[in-house]
Structure 1
Amino acid sequence: MSDVATRQDASQRELDRLAELAEDVIRRARAAGASQAEVSASIDTGLNVNVRLGEVETVEHTRDRGFGLTVYFSQRKGSASTADLNADSIQATLDQACAIARYTEEDPAAGLADAARMAKVFPELDLWHPWSIDTADAIALGQRIEAAGRAHAGITNSDGASVQAGESLSVYANSHGFVGRERGTRHSLSLSLIAGDDAGMQRDYWYDSVRSADDFMDAAALGDKAAERTLARVGARRLSTRQAPVLFAPEIARGLIGHMVGAVSGGALYRRASFLLDHAGKQIMPSWLTIVERPHLPRGQGSGNFDAEGVATRDNVLIENGVLARYVLGSYSARKLGLQSTGNAGGIHNLMVEPGHGDGGKADDFNGMLRRLGTGLLVTEVMGQGVNTITGDYSRGAAGFWVENGEIAYPVEEITIAANLRDMLMGIVAVGSDVDKRSHLLTGSILLDRMTIAGE
């Protein structure tokens, strides 16, 4: 039997064992007086190798276990967890959860998701691709990536290359009789380099993250990309304070979309801590822009057949022609708001920002987005936590490039970009076709009509 087939069988046995354990604990919780119960159990394994200047820095093998139990005594809730799956630890976890529930206040919104919403079909999403790489080969791969980057003239040092291989097995079960099994793999390569000149040192990096190692970009190409990005920052300048159009590179643009998602998520809404409170059905983005959640993308970073409560996932529009079509809710936040779960307990699943612009026609690639920017700021890095979800105020340190007439003119650093998220979302001019697929937030570069740039 091949190594892949052997690991396939072993993973299935582990999932079956976790499922049997979860169902047994739920039965015991009901016998102890719980009206409802739910269990999340997981086993994560991985290899992480770090190489710097051609030498091994760290080699880490991981095998983490997790077991979490929540019980409900009517609408009183108790939760407990353990990293030990032996019988005594599981029993102690059960006893603790029940004790907590007996002494907490009732919460009218507490309880499992509706039984009718549980997932019933489980299409294959192609998420399980174990990477049969041993430590020696992982070290050699890291050295090859770093060597490719360090070979570029002007690179003076390295912060190191990393090679990571990971597998995750998880089971969610509840007293509705739902048992959901999931298994997935995530692998990554990365390299961080340093370049220097008389004006100072510059650092940049690149990485790749995939479900299957077959989908990695070429190792030498990753090293080249990290070096090119680092060298491009040499000689960075500050800007005078001004207002100008701003283009967020794809890996930065997804942060902007993430702020929007956070503001329309249940926790922020029922706490009334969102600048998009009561905005369902209202326009918050340009009328040409649509954003759709697609949970069943093969090999997607955020793919899944059910959410953290067992609710079935489905394709679901979030922004339609600029209008906020719905909120992002699990069952608890939905009850607090008098609404229904959107299958987003635990987060969003493959949110796709459809490329385009207000002029109609084909979406621009990255070079086309630079031409559309014309003269303005390309942001490739943001720093700090200056985002207020309550007011929408946005102010963060940034670095990137000043662009003139659609061409990169010179690198910039030590600047601050500021605006209000309401204006930023409505001021989106275009979304590029250069989609970054390394995240569950799938967007190309995003061009904003105007932000304040604070510099010298």
Structure 2
Amino acid sequence: MTELSDLTQAMLDAARKAGADASDALAVDGTSIEIAVRAGALEKAERSEGVDIGLRVFVGQRQASVASSDTRPEAIAEMAARAVTMAREAPIDPHCGLAAPDQLATDTDMSRLDLCDPASEPDPAMLQDMALRAEAAALRVEGVSQVSETSAGYGRRRMHLSQSNGFAAGYARSDIGLSCVPISGTGTGMERDYDYDSRIYMTDMRDPEDIGRNAALRTVARIGARRPKTGQYPVLFDERIASSLIGHLVQATNGSAIARGASFLRDALGEQVLPKGMTLTEDPHRARTSASKLFDAEGLPTQSRLLVDDGRLTGWTLDLATGRKLGLPSTANAARGTSSAPRPAVTNLSLTQGTASRDDLIAQMGTGLVVTSMIGSTINPNTGDYSRGASGFWVENGEIAYPVNELTIAGNLRDMWLTMIAANDARTHLSRVVPSLLVEGMTLAGD
């Protein structure tokens, strides 16, 4: 088997021979298995293996990227020649280019982040058994009419990045997951919900029976959902979907959006965007967490940083190119695939948790809405106006009264963020550790 480091070096050599002034090369290989069951029988069994390679070349201040799955030497030579030809025809980009050698990461041993389970690849029969156990547990809950999908999957990937500035490093990741989606009722009265777990280590997974039963209980709780009354009410975003609110903040502070002037936070640096006392932290070095890494896609050393400190916006998420456009250093947040140039992207995030439980916040609401799922999205990137379809549970007198669906929630993200109250229920193994969030005074459109 050809080593990924040999493939990346072969691409750099081919790029130099083809006339590139500089280049970087990425090689990725992996194995994935997906098993799905339905009605107690195997419905799908898929296994895939493959290698993808990507080459980015620079000719002066012009760049081009190409990708392939053909790793033969003659194919790599042809790939490099094509990339150089493309770069010569590309428009000048004064901001493109590799990092200076003194910017590069020197600590590249990712083994201490524990991102790959050393155990053997699971047998497909074991994954099928996990899915069948979860499905059976869901069907044992009264009120579940069927299970639309139960699937288990496993993946293991390796990557290696080499650059003509001298950087070369790689690492491996693994993951295993299980999900279950039960259905209650029939016809137009059908409701569904889900539960899942995804981990790096098989030994960290929750029991399949727990996943299936919890998914079923969530589904049964949705029986008889109806539309609530239109009006202004507090809204509690359940922990399962609360990270989407923080995701909008991350998008609005991405260097690409800031450089284009296409963000409603473009002039908000240093301003209060979250409640005082609330901090949003990025930590790319968390062990056994899917987005962790010691270096980014441009070879720069990653580090912990505060995106929001005590409620105030501290900076943007940058790679080299967007940093150069804004006159700022990269925050070592470059991410890329084999077929594209780097782009800014965050790794692991955590939001300050509160002291109150989810139930405490529901009691505090009085009358309002708990959102457990959302569909569609209308977010105006220039104003922060927010509108999404939602479903969940209506709250009266501080207690859940009945399930609701077919409603729309709307507001403005800057107003929503400033009123957020955090619960204490975030799952700390996730890449985005965000608890349930209570937002005051949103507009609900129902009946």
> What is the TM-score normalised by the length of structure 1?
0.92
What is aligned with 2:151? 162
Please give the alpha-carbon distance, in whole angstroms, between the structure 2 residues aligned to 1:197 and 1:231: 12
Please give the residue correspondences for 1:21-60 in structure 2 after superposition, counting only pairs within 5 Å: 21-60=7-46
What is aligned with 1:396? 388
Q: Secondary structure at the match of 1:384?
A: strand
Please give the residue correspondences for 1:275-424 in structure 2 after superposition, counting only pairs within 5 Å: 275-346=264-335, 347-356=345-354, 363-424=355-416
Please give the alpha-carbon distance, in whole angstroms, between the structure 1 residues aligned to 2:20 and 2:443: 55
Q: Secondary structure at the match of 1:93?
A: helix
What is aligned with 2:419? 427
Deviations 1:161-190 (A, max 9, x none): 101011010011111110121111111100
Does the CA-based 8 Å contact 1:131-1:212 persist in structure 2?
Answer: no
Q: Secondary structure at the match of 1:122?
A: coil
Please give the alpha-carbon distance, in whole angstroms, between the structure 1 residues aligned to 2:188 and 2:131: 30
Deviations 1:365-407 (A, max 9, x none): 3223323333211100010021222221110100000122332
Does the CA-based 8 Å contact 2:392-2:405 persist in structure 1?
Answer: yes
Please give the alpha-carbon distance, in whole angstroms, between the structure 2 residues aligned to 1:381 and 1:215: 26
Q: Secondary structure at the match of 1:194?
A: strand
Does the CA-based 8 Å contact 2:10-2:76 persist in structure 1?
Answer: no
What is aligned with 1:64? 50
Q: Which moved more, 1:443-452 or 1:29-38?
A: 29-38
Does the CA-based 8 Å contact 2:224-2:403 persist in structure 1?
Answer: yes
Q: Which moved more, 1:321-330 or 1:85-94?
A: 85-94
Please give the alpha-carbon distance, in whole angstroms, between the structure 2 residues aligned to 1:391 and 1:88: 51
Q: Which amino acid aligns with 1:102?
A: R
Q: Which amino acid aligns with 1:435?
A: A
What is aligned with 1:360? none
Does the CA-based 8 Å contact 2:369-2:395 persist in structure 1?
Answer: yes
1:211 Cα deviation after fit: 0.7
Please give the alpha-carbon distance, in whole angstroms, between the structure 1 residues aligned to 2:431 and 2:103: 23
CA gap 1:296/1:386 in 2 versus in 1, 3 angstroms: same
Please give the alpha-carbon distance, in whole angstroms, between the structure 2 residues aligned to 1:321 and 1:51: 47
Q: In the comparison of the two structures, how many residue pairs are matched?
A: 435
What is aligned with 1:359? none
Please give the alpha-carbon distance, in whole angstroms, between the structure 1 residues aligned to 2:100 and 2:198: 35
Please give the alpha-carbon distance, in whole angstroms, between the structure 1 residues aligned to 2:163 and 2:368: 53
Moved over 6 A (4+): none
Q: Which amino acid aligns with 2:377?
A: Q
Does the CA-based 8 Å contact 1:127-1:183 persist in structure 2?
Answer: yes
Please give the alpha-carbon distance, in whole angstroms, between the structure 2 residues aligned to 1:118 and 1:364: 43
CA gap 1:369/1:272 in 2 versus in 1, 3 angstroms: same
1:242 Cα deviation after fit: 0.7
Please give the alpha-carbon distance, in whole angstroms, between the structure 2 residues aligned to 1:162 and 1:311: 37
CA gap 1:159/1:170 in 2 versus in 1, 3 angstroms: same
Does the CA-based 8 Å contact 2:194-2:218 persist in structure 1?
Answer: yes
Deviations 1:104-143 (A, max 9, x none): 1211001113332221113510111155321222212211
Over the aligned positions, Cα root-mean-square deviation in angstroms equals 1.5
Does the CA-based 8 Å contact 2:14-2:76 persist in structure 1?
Answer: no
Please give the alpha-carbon distance, in whole angstroms, between the structure 2 residues aligned to 1:221 and 1:235: 24
What is aligned with 1:127? 115
What is aligned with 1:204? 193
Q: Which amino acid aligns with 2:384?
A: G
Please give the alpha-carbon distance, in whole angstroms, between the structure 2 residues aligned to 1:393 and 1:114: 40
* 2:250 aligned with 1:261: yes
Please give the residue correspondences for 1:207-218 in structure 2 after superposition, counting only pairs within 5 Å: 207-218=196-207
Deviations 1:203-261 (A, max 9, x none): 11111111111111111010111000100100111011111111101121111111110
CA gap 1:42/1:198 in 2 versus in 1, 3 angstroms: closer
Does the CA-based 8 Å contact 1:118-1:311 persist in structure 2?
Answer: yes
Q: Which amino acid aligns with 1:349?
A: T
Does the CA-based 8 Å contact 2:16-2:22 persist in structure 1?
Answer: yes
Q: Structure 2: which 5+ residue stretches go unaligned?
A: 336-344
Please give the alpha-carbon distance, in whole angstroms, between the structure 2 residues aligned to 1:380 and 1:399: 6
1:149 Cα deviation after fit: 0.4
Please give the alpha-carbon distance, in whole angstroms, between the structure 1 residues aligned to 2:97 and 2:396: 57
Q: Which amino acid aligns with 2:253?
A: V
Q: Which moved more, 1:275-284 or 1:51-60?
A: 275-284
Does the CA-based 8 Å contact 1:301-1:438 persist in structure 2?
Answer: no
Q: Which amino acid aligns with 1:447?
A: L
Please give the alpha-carbon distance, in whole angstroms, between the structure 1 residues aligned to 2:227 and 2:413: 24
Q: Which amino acid aligns with 2:114?
A: D
Q: Which amino acid aligns with 1:415?
A: L
> What is the TM-score normalised by the length of structure 2?
0.94
Does the CA-based 8 Å contact 1:302-1:439 persist in structure 2?
Answer: no
CA gap 1:63/1:278 in 2 versus in 1, 3 angstroms: same
1:437 Cα deviation after fit: 4.4
Q: Structure 1: which 5+ residue stretches go unaligned?
A: 1-12, 357-362
1:197 Cα deviation after fit: 6.2
What is aligned with 2:219? 230
1:199 Cα deviation after fit: 6.7
Please give the alpha-carbon distance, in whole angstroms, between the structure 1 residues aligned to 2:126 and 2:361: 39
What is aligned with 2:442? 451
Please give the alpha-carbon distance, in whole angstroms, between the structure 2 residues aligned to 1:370 and 1:64: 48
Please give the alpha-carbon distance, in whole angstroms, between the structure 2 residues aligned to 1:268 and 1:303: 24
Please give the residue correspondences for 1:172-183 in structure 2 after superposition, counting only pairs within 5 Å: 172-183=161-172
CA gap 1:198/1:76 in 2 versus in 1, 3 angstroms: closer
